[in-house]
Amino acid sequence: MSDPHLEVENLSMRFKVKTKILHGSADQGKFKTVLNSVSFAIKEGETFGIVGETGSGKTTLAKTLVGIYKPKNCTIKLQGKEINFKKREDVLSLRRSIGIVFQDPVGSLNPRLRVFDIIAEGLPDLQKMKKGEKETKIREAAKLVELPESKLESYPPEISGGEKQRVSLARTLAGGKKILVLDEPTSSLDVSIQAQILNLLIKLKRELSISYIFITHDLNVIKFMCDRVAVLYYGQLLEEGSTIELFERPRHPYTYDLIHANVTLSSTNLYTTDHESGEPSTEGCVYKNSCPKRFEPCERNPPVIVRNGVRVKCWLYETQENLNGVISEIKKELGDGS
Amino acid sequence: MEDNPLQNELISDLLEVQNLSVNFETIDRTVEVLRSVSIRIEKGDAVGIVGESGSGKSTLAQAIIGVLDIPPARIIDGVIRFNGENILQRKTKSPNFRGKGINMIFQEPLTSLNPVYSVHDQLEEAIRIDDPTVDAKKREEIIKRNLREVMIRDVEGVLSVYPHQLSGGMRQRVSIAMVLIQRPQLLILDEPTTGLDLIVQRKILKLILNLKEEISSSILLITHDLAIAASVCKRIYVMYAGRVVESGSMRVVLSSPSHPYTIMLKNSVPEGYMDEGPLNVTSGSPPDLRALPSGCAFHPRCPKAMAVCREKVPELKKVEDEREVACWLYE
Ligand SMILES: Nc1ncnc2c1ncn2[C@@H]1O[C@H](COP(=O)(O)OP(=O)(O)OP(=O)(O)O)[C@@H](O)[C@H]1O
Ligand SMILES: Nc1ncnc2c1ncn2[C@@H]1O[C@H](COP(=O)(O)OP(=O)(O)OP(=O)(O)O)[C@@H](O)[C@H]1O
Ligand code: SF4
Ligand code: SF4
Ligand SMILES: [Mg+2]
Ligand SMILES: [Mg+2]
């Protein structure tokens, strides 16, 4: 098998917390872990989905993948070649290969540039390019995203939200990017416009054999768009597998709750879990305060367990032997403490 | 069903909006935001309004509770009856809250909360208005119980702060807790759960539905999410560019939508896995109200558009029991 397109191993990110949010417990000078040992790999031509609620770290992950943040102690390999974030060249190669489309179409386009010039920003080696060549490339990109030629002369405030996302896409495609990180690309759009953009993304993928990392909180969209899906919860990937596996047989208790809470047009029952929804835990399993299946080992952070192609970070899937080991360790520790 | 006059009297309308037309008028332009909108809500009903951004949903809700900014808004025509009494404010804004038994959870949760009072003081005030005989100790109990109901864990922490110090999701929960205390006859929810985690969202919707049963109040849910509307509402109004284009029972409208826009809305929602092919939608986007297309506002996007559609606005017509459609196809 060929090398995976992109491989991410043990990606962690933390931010310094500057101000106290709310009141009470002083967070000053402390760090907040936003991504915690995230690992995944993407194959060529695949759409890999990352689903997570607000604050789970989706945008931070997206920004890291395009070289905006520089993670420490993690391995990111592009076509098998490891990226050294200390080397400018390496970061540039990451930026050249991976494009990004953000959720907010207003904020991501310079309102004072013509659409034509915004798409031009995406072209590599802009200076070296002949004028005619540049123009051809821009018109090609606009055509790919089905943006009417007339709009090339417009400015961002004059075009609709859906058109803005088309411009963002054209900008990354003009640069010949092979991997696109789509961070909630349709979340700010009306449903009928979202549908148009989803159709466009499917068409582009087929024509250009590019890969997508599709990030969203919308389960219906992720189910429709992706080959594989990973579930992000407060910075941790709790489960990863093929889309069908994940939706039909969710393994992790969080995935289970999430998928059952989702309503669709054909299943409109408001399912609600009877158990409490607690805050994420900073010790042991991150979902333990909400998990109805919680048992003794959950005081320890579970490892990622691989079973039949599904990766799941939950003690329920650990072998009895290993569990016994963990339980006796915990008991011993408790015993020592008393 | 047989026509039973007695029954007709029993199922009286709690809210009735008739032919409501609203403009937003500034010196240089007039925008027609609502045109001849009629909706009704019976006691104990759960009614949904769906439509895309700018279709006039929030404006309608604001007119009902009397918080439209007049001017720039101007009421062109219409009546809004609540328990038979006309409550439409034509001149100034004066909220129909509480006293009248209507309350609303706003799209922007800061709107429902008073910025100068702490969360505790607002909730306490709400209880006092609801029932002045409740003593201080009991009030504290009610406050805490309601905050816990909306899944706020750090109750003490939230009580002492001011609304702007809370995150969007927390604010939304506090305003929902407020409504739980006020127990209105009609509760209007304008995109009530945007920004909340899915699991919390669904729990809160369930909570609101339980409250509705408990005190037999009615719900008007405004959303762009057809699936959410379907999970909460028995009847639905579909709005496009300031008009109701289809209405009927939720079940029937969903299973066999009549208006081409409703059909497109339904087709827009991804349902299955990727191999089920592209979503069946046409190009184009919702119109700019400042430059509405002639005739049926949907005609530039409508796969079934005919010559007449460009010329005349189709009126809302009853096509079958309980179902109305505004489209020349059903003429
Ligand atoms: N530069 C930063 N400094 C400090 N904290 C940050 C920074 N960027 C993000 N965070 C925090 O990290 C967490 C994750 O943020 P992120 O934007 O990645 O989440 P998200 O999953 O994209 O959420 P959303 O769905 O709301 O877009 C949040 O709690 C956020 O407040
Ligand atoms: N104060 C105002 N002055 C001028 N125009 C306004 C004002 N408030 C709303 N509008 C316009 O009225 C139209 C309807 O707005 P409204 O907020 O009712 O739509 P909506 O259906 O609630 O949309 P959304 O789904 O985005 O919340 C929009 O075109 C909006 O720009
Ligand atoms: S590790 Fe334990 S607490 Fe965490 S999800 Fe699995 S069973 Fe629940
Ligand atoms: S009136 Fe005409 S344009 Fe409008 S929805 Fe019906 S068929 Fe389409
Ligand atoms: Mg984000
Ligand atoms: Mg609105």
Instruction: Count CB-CB contacts under 10 A for residue A319.
Output: 9
Q: Is the pLDDT of residue A105 over 80?
A: no
Question: Element (H or E) spanning A115, and its range?
Answer: helix A115-121
Task: Pick the closest to residue A60 from A287, A282, A235 (CA basis).
Answer: A235
pTM (two decimals): 0.89
Task: Pick the closest to residue B242 from B28, B71, B32, B99 (CA basis).
Answer: B32
Residue B195: burial class (beta carbons within 10 Å; 0-12, 13-18, 19+): middle
**Could you give the dihedral angle defined by the CA atoms of residues B65, B71, B77 and B81, in that order, rounded to the nearest 10 degrees?**
20
What's the angle, vertex CA A107, arms to CA A106 and CA A110, rounded to 5? 85
Cβ <8 Å between A272 and B231 = no
Structure tokens, A101:
């489309």
Chain position carrying tokens 């449903």: A191
Please tell me the class of the A6-232 domain.
alpha beta
| A123 close to A136: Cβ distance less than 8 angstroms | no
Q: Is the pLDDT of residue A274 over 70?
A: no
Higher pLDDT, B193 or A334: A334
Share of chain A above pLDDT 70, in %: 92
pLDDT for B97 equals 58
pLDDT for A310 equals 93
Tell me the average pLDDT of chain A.
87
DSSP state of B286: P
Q: Which of B160, B225, B231 to mutate to test the interface with A (most CBs of A within 10 A)?
A: B231
Q: Is the pLDDT of residue A182 over 90?
A: yes
Please report, for chain B, the start and end positions of each structural domain, with discontinuous segments joined by +: 5-101+184-270+279-323, 112-183
Q: Is the CB of A67 under 6 A from ligand 3?
A: no
Mean pLDDT by 10 residues, chain B (331 residues): 46 86 88 94 93 91 87 90 82 61 76 80 84 86 85 82 79 82 86 76 81 84 90 94 95 93 94 83 85 93 94 92 92 83
Q: Is the pLDDT of residue A312 over 70?
A: yes
Q: What share of chain B is helix, strand, coil (3-state, %, to 5)?
A: 40, 25, 40
pLDDT for B1 equals 43
| A78 close to A94: Cβ distance less than 8 angstroms | yes
CB neighbour list of residue A100: distance below 8 Å, 6 or more residues apart: A62, A63, A65, A66, A172, A180, A181, A182, A183
Q: Is the pLDDT of residue A93 over 80?
A: yes
Given ligand 1 and candidates A14, A34, A221, which is best to mutate, with the most ligand atoms within 8 Å of its CB?
A34
Considering the domain B5-101+184-270+279-323, what is its CATH architecture? 3-Layer(aba) Sandwich (3.40)
Residue type, A85: F
Instruction: Say how far apart CA B62 and CA B102 lie, in whole Å.
Output: 11
DSSP symbols for A127-180: TTS-HHHHHHHHHHHHHHTT--GGGGGS-GGGS-HHHHHHHHHHHHHHTT-SEE
Instruction: Say how far apart CA B104 and CA B188 lie, in whole Å.
Output: 4
A196-221 pLDDT per residue, tens: 999 999 999 988 889 999 999 999 99
A43-90 pLDDT per residue, tens: 988 999 999 988 899 999 999 998 888 888 889 999 888 988 888 888
A153-168 pLDDT per residue, tens: 999 988 888 899 999 9
Instruction: Count CB-CB contacts under 10 A for residue A6.
Output: 27
Give A286's pLDDT tier (boundaries 50, 70, 90). very high
Q: Where in chain A is the domain with CATH 3.40.50.300?
A: 6-232
Give A175's pLDDT tier (boundaries 50, 70, 90). confident
Number of H helices, E strands in chain B: 11, 12
Cβ <8 Å between A190 and B224 = yes
Q: Which of A217, A263, A274 to mutate to test the interface with B (most CBs of B within 10 A)?
A: A263
Chain position carrying tokens 């009248």: B100
Cβ <8 Å between B268 and A243 = no
Question: Element (H or E) spanning A116, and its range?
Answer: helix A115-121
Touching check for A23 and chain B: CB below 8 Å?
Answer: yes
